[in-house]
């Protein structure tokens, strides 16, 4: 009787383990190209951790210094990579946004990218600004359903490099979404995404909150 009970528990455990393994394998059923992409992103993340830990220019190594810990990320997910052409705004409006320390900043709404997922089409503005050193830059920033929960409460950024070809197809890769420096240290101020930059979607990709 006791032996039968043990065997019953064993088979139940084995069945549960098999279901768990199959579910895990289903999540990891990537193509060779996708696996190569995932490995590349994970390598970038390791390199960024080393840079943020060791570089004198790191936000963690400025005054006031912040204790470094490895940055936190969602698992790399190829489903959060999209393609889009840039639609330019005509005319291009200069708008005022604010930094996290309350300062006003002027930026140009240069255009927008679009992507479709979960049966909905989303738009992301491309902003053009000028850095303190006088360098022109372009950037995407956004908030989403994870903001202030699993991800940084101000929002996250994506780098953007403008191409001269109007037919160029850009990549929107949310696995590369990162926190601005103000997410780590009070020394910095960063642009606050507007209500227009909210994505009604849980972007479970890229960097998570650093401070809990």
pLDDT (average), residues 52-81? 96
Confidence of residue 132 (pLDDT cuts 50, 70, 90): confident
List the chain domain ranges: 65-197
Reply yes or no on whether the pLDDT at 58 is more than 50.
Answer: yes
Q: Are 162 and 155 in contact (CB under 8 A)?
A: no
Q: What share of the chain is helix, strand, coil (3-state, %, to 5)?
A: 30, 30, 40
Check pLDDT > 70 for residue 13: no
| C-alpha–C-alpha distance, residues 156 and 139, integer Å | 11
Whether pLDDT at 76 is above 60: yes
- 159-196 pLDDT, tens per residue? 999 999 999 999 999 999 999 999 999 999 999 999 99
CB 104 within 8 A of CB 83: no
Residue 8, pLDDT > 50, answer no
| DSSP-assigned states of every residue in 127-173 | EEEE-TTS-EEEEEEEB-TTBTTTB-SS-EEEEE---S-TT-EEEEE
**22 has pLDDT over 80:** no
Q: Which of the two residues, 13 and 79, has the higher pLDDT score?
A: 79
**Residue among 7, 6, 77 nearest 35 (CA):** 77
Q: Bigger pLDDT: 11 or 180? A: 180
Residue of 157, 129, 123 whose CA lies nearest to 143: 157
Look up residue 139 and give its two tokens. Answer: 């950037």
Asked if residues 197 and 125 have their Cβ atoms less than 8 Å apart, the reply is yes
Q: At a CB cut-off of 8 Å and minimum separation 6, what does 167 contact?
A: 85
Percent above pLDDT 90 for the chain: 83
Report strand pairing: 104-117 vs 87-88: antiparallel
């Amino acid at each position: 009787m006791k032996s039968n009970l043990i065997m019953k528990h064993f088979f139940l455990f084995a069945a549960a383990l098999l279901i768990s393994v199959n579910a895990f394998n289903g999540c990891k059923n990537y193509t060779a190209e996708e696996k190569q992409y995932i490995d590349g992103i994970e390598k970038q993340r390791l390199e960024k951790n080393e840079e943020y830990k060791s570089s004198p220019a790191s936000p963690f190594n400025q005054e006031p210094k912040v204790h470094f810990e490895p940055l936190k990320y969602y698992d790399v997910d190829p489903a959060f990579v999209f393609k889009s052409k840039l639609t330019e705004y005509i005319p291009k409006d200069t708008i005022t946004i604010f930094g996290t320390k309350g300062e006003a900043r002027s930026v140009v709404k240069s255009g927008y990218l679009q992507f479709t997922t979960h049966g909905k089409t989303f738009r992301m503005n491309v902003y053009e600004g000028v850095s303190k050193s006088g360098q022109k830059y372009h950037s995407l920033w956004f908030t989403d359903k994870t903001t202030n929960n699993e991800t940084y409460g101000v929002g996250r950024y994506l780098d953007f490099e403008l191409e001269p070809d109007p037919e160029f197809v850009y990549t929107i890769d949310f696995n590369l979404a990162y926190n601005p420096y103000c997410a780590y240290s009070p020394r910095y101020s960063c642009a606050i995404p507007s209500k227009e930059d909210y994505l009604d979607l849980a972007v479970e990709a890229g960097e998570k909150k650093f401070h809990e």
